Amino acid sequence: MLKFHGTGVALITPFHDDLTIDFVGLKNVIDHVINGGVDYLVVQGTTGESATLTKDEKKQVLKASLEYNAGRVPIVYGLGGNSTQAVWDEIKNTDFTGIDAILSVSPYYNKPTQAGIIAHYRTIADSSPVPVILYNVPGRTMSNVTYQTTLELAKHPNIIGMKEASSDMSQCMRIAAKMPEGFLLISGDDILTPSMRVLGGQGVISVLANAYPEIFKIICHGDLEASKIAAFKLLDINPMMYEESNPVGLKFLMSELGICGDAVRLPLLKASDSLKERIRKNMVK
C-alpha cells in the first residue's frame, strides 16, 4: 500500500461566517496541500469537524473533495463511530467510487473491552469494500487499542494499517516489532513523525499539513536529519493547535495564511485573542 506512505492530511472543513460549508475554501485547501506535496487526503476525520456535520453535509464534502482532487492523490474517508451497527449501515449506504480506504476511529464513550474492539473492527473490515485503516486516539475515545489488539487485527486481510495517536512510543515499538510485512504504522502525532519513521512507520496523518504541506514533505520523505530539523520548526506552534481543541487553532492559522476562514461550529469557539496573538508570533516563515 505504497499509496499511503508519506503525508496524509486530515482536511479541515471550511465554513462561512453563517456556518454553512465554504466549498470555495475547501477547494483552496485541497489545492494548497496537493501543490505542497502531500501524498493523500483524509476527508471527514476529527479535524474536519465530522462530529458536527450532518450525514448529508458529509456526503456533500466527500463529493466536492473527490471533484476538486480530480484523481491527483488517493483519498481516505473517515467512517467510524461507537455503534458497530450504525457504522455497518453507513458503509452499506456509501458510494465508494473514488475512495481508496477508510479511516475508522476506535469506538468512543462506551469504553469497550479489547475483545469488543476486535469484534467491532472485524465487522467493519468484513463489510467494507475498501481497505480499513484503524485509528487509536485514547485522548478522545477514552480507551486504548493495545498493541496486542492492533497485531491481532493486522491479521485481517482488509485491515492495512493503524493511525497511532496514543503518543506511547513503547506501544508503537511493540507494534513495529511484530507487525506483518506491508502493514502501515502511521503517526497520529505530527511532531513524533520522525521518531515513528525510525521505528518503521510509513508517515503521518497530519493536522498541521493543512497549513504547511511543504514541511511535511521533508518530514516524511527527506533523510532523517532533514526530517528532524523540519519537525523542530513546528515545536512551538504545534501545541497551540490543540490548546482550545482541534481545529480551532489550525483554522485561525489557515485564515492568517489567506487560505480560508476561521469559523468553527459549536460547541467549539473561534480562537481566543490570546491564542491568536501567540499563533501569529509562532507562525513558521
Catalytic residues: 135, 163
The answer to the question of whether 149 is labelled as a binding residue is no
Rg, Å, the chain Cα set:
18
Residues in the chain: 285
The answer to the question of whether 160 is labelled as a binding residue is no
Contacts 24+ apart (CB under 8 A), 233-236: 233/284, 234/190, 234/191, 234/208, 234/284, 235/191, 236/282
Extract the annotated binding site. 47, 205
Extract the annotated binding site for pyruvate. 47, 205
